[in-house]
Each structure stands twice: as structure tokens, then as C-alpha cells.
Amino acid sequence: MFSYLRERFTSHLRERSRRRARLVSKDGRCNIEFGNVEQSRFVFLIDIWTTILDLRWRYKMTIFISAFLGSWFLFGLLWYVVAYIHKDLPEFNPSINHTPCVENINGLTSAFLFSLETQVTIGYGFRCVTEQCATAIFLLIFQSILGVIINSFMCGAILAKISRSKNRAKTITFSKNAVISKRGGKLCLLIRVANLRKSLLIGSHIYGKLLKTTITPEGETIILDQVNIEFVVDAGNENLFFISPLTIYHIIDKNSPFFHMAAETLLQQDFELVVFLDGTVEATSATCQVRTSYIPEEVLWGYRFAPIVSKTKEGKYRVDFQNFSKTVAVETPHCAFCLYNEKEAKAKEKRGYDNPGFVLSEVSETSDTKM
């Protein structure tokens, strides 16, 4: 009993580790890391805009808050230095006729508040710059310009982060599994994809890549070798009318990498099928890419998708997403090669063929008979 449980647990861990070993996750994120990069990280600072956009929200908000607090505190110190040099602070006991550079700066706290009011243009009217020193006027101009730059950059980065087209990709969903069954008399690999919004993706194009490890005739091992997989719908694979869920399919013919696979050997294969959907968002005209992946355990042989679109009594079309990933078992050849041979055999039966070994021999008839 213990050995049986240990074997089941080991097989479960092996299967779990195999499921995790994928380049593209189901939600489209790439599972890859870069090591021993020779280039300096300074190159990422050169393209600071893309670096900021690619950061996660928690890091972006940390930089956002730190940029404002840091600039306010830095200029607060500078205003305090100006007041200290000009001897405007109460500790210097200025005379009644003394005109300070900045009114009502009594210490570091009041200098910080004046820096905050200046940069965000609050202007309470209690603290203000006088005409007494040009240094204060120059510092006021410099902080105002720098504050506008920081505001524009950080607000623009947050707006661009919110409006990125990859967020639109979250409303495009693929079926949990891919299926293999007959469609139009051909063996096909089928995947269902749906648009959860009523707004369309313009100029949509769908395609796939089969990732596997191959060994060349020269003995070179290529990890993550990419093979093109053509997906089509009944109207082609470009400019899809993506208003309702579509079932895309790949024809498994002699040129397909799935041609030599069978139902019995599918789970023994080591591949990852990555599916891409490119399109233009109708609302923003920004390009968008959606991707997902399927490993052998997620490809069901001998199944088809359950119907999902129906028509109501009011004449409207209704999409039932409860059946979106639901599959139904159907009769399917256990390999594409068998279906190909079966078609050839039926074609020969219909047209017939000559037997070159058949020879017609004539027999002469005689009238002599013996009684």
C-alpha cells in the first residue's frame, strides 16, 4: 500500500513538473529568464520610458511617490539653505526692516511646505518669494520647470500603463484544451477563441508555433525549435469577423508536424503549441497580441467542441460561455496516416483497377461425344 501511494505521488509530481515546463503560460506570459547578459544595465536607463512602462504597478507607484517626495524634500533643503545664507531664520534675530528672500520660512519644516506649495502650484499666499535676492527667484523658476517635467513624465507613464493594449488582450480568451477530430472529411486540430467585448479587433490574424526539441542530421540539438502551424477558419485566417466565438483549425496533412502522431502516442510527445492572435483595437487603433499555449496533456484526441451559439425567440443570437471549453467525444481515426490510407482505399474501390495478371484464354468446343 505504501509503495503504491509513493508511486502515485511520484507520478503526480512528475506530471506537475512537466506541466510547469512551458515557455508560454495559459495567460500569455513568457517563462524565460536571461543570464550572463554582458551589456550593462545602463542600456535600460537609456530607454527609461519603456523601462518604466514595463515595471509592475507596485514598483511604478513606488517610483511615482519617491519622485515627488524626493523633489519636494530636495528643494525644501535648498530653500532652507537660501534662508540660512540670507539670515532670514529666527535664530539670526533679523531686524524689523529686514526683507527675507522668502516670507515666513522659520525652519526646515516651513521650507519643505513652501517647496511643496511651489511645485504643485497650491499657493496658499502665506509664504512667497520677495524681490530681495535673485537666487530665490532663479530657484523658483528652476523648481517650477522641473516640477512640470516630473508631472508630465509620471502622469504620462501611468496613463500609458493604464491604456496599454495588452490589457485589451485579457478580454480575449482561448479554450482550455485543443481537440483533434474530423472536420470536412479531414483530420484537424481545433481551438476555440472568443472576444468577451462587443468591440471588434480589426484586421485580426491568427497563427501558431510548435516548439519542440529537434536533432539535426549533423547531430546538433536545437531546443525550442519553432515550426510554423497554419490555423484557418472557414473564411481564412486574416481579417476575422470576431464578433462571436470562432473555432479555428489546423489541417493535419502530410506537411503537418502532427501527421506522424497518433492517439496512443500523443501523450508521449514533447512539444508546446503556442497560438497567437494579432489585431488592432477598434477604440484606440493600437495593435494587440494575445497568446496561449497547449502541451500534449491539453490536446484531446477524438473530441469536438460543444455548440455554444444559439438563437432566441426574439431573434437575437446568444452565446453560452458555460459550454465554451466543453468537449464531446466523437468517432475519430486514431492517426492521420490511417485516415489517409482509408481515403485512398475507398477511392480505389470506386474507380476500380485492372489486374495485369489476368489472361483470357479461348476454349474450342467440339461436337464429338462419347457415350
pLDDT reading at 37 higher than 80: no
Domain 167-349 superfamily per CATH: G protein-activated inward rectifier potassium channel 1 (2.60.40.1400)
Q: What are the boundaries of each domain within the chain?
A: 48-163, 167-349
pLDDT in tens, 238-293: 667 777 888 889 999 888 889 888 888 888 888 899 999 888 887 777 888 889 99
pLDDT reading at 205 higher than 90: no
Q: Please state, in angstroms and rounded to a whole number, the distance separating the CA atoms of residues 315 and 229.
A: 38
Contacts of 196 (CB under 8 A, 6+ apart): 171, 172, 173
Check residues 5 and 48 and name the one with the higher pLDDT.
48
Q: What is the pLDDT of residue 146?
A: 93
Q: What is the pLDDT of residue 370?
A: 46
As its CATH architecture, domain 48-163 has Orthogonal Bundle (1.10)
Please provide the average confidence, as pLDDT, over all residues in the chain.
Answer: 82
Share of the chain above pLDDT 90, in %: 27
Residues paired with residue 183 on neighbouring β-strands, in sequence order: 186
Residue 195: closest CA among 242, 136, 254, 229: 242
Q: What is the pLDDT of residue 175?
A: 92
Topology agreement, domain 48-163 and domain 167-349: no
Q: What is the pLDDT of residue 294?
A: 93
pLDDT in tens, 123-170: 787 888 988 889 999 999 999 999 999 999 988 988 888 877 777 778
Residue 209: closest CA among 194, 226, 192: 226
Q: What is the pLDDT of residue 359?
A: 52
Q: Which of 8-12, 73-77, 87-91, 290-294 has the lowest mean pLDDT?
A: 8-12
**What is the arithmetic mean of pLDDT over 301-318?**
86
Residues paired with residue 319 on neighbouring β-strands, in sequence order: 309
- 192 close to 228: Cβ distance less than 8 angstroms: no
Q: What is the pLDDT of residue 119?
A: 92
Residues paired with residue 173 on neighbouring β-strands, in sequence order: 194
**What is the arithmetic mean of pLDDT over 36-54?**
76
Confidence of residue 6 (pLDDT cuts 50, 70, 90): low
Q: What is the pLDDT of residue 369?
A: 45
- Stated pTM of the model: 0.68
Most confident residue range from 35-44, 172-181, 192-201, 311-320: 172-181
Q: Please state, in angstroms and rounded to a whole number, the distance separating the CA atoms of residues 290 and 273.
A: 14
pLDDT in tens, 14-29: 555 555 578 888 877 8
Q: What is the pLDDT of residue 39?
A: 64
**What is the arithmetic mean of pLDDT over 315-330?**
86
Q: Please state, in angstroms and rounded to a whole number, the distance separating the CA atoms of residues 22 and 48.
A: 30
Grid coordinates given for 347: 477511392
**What is the arithmetic mean of pLDDT over 27-35?**
77
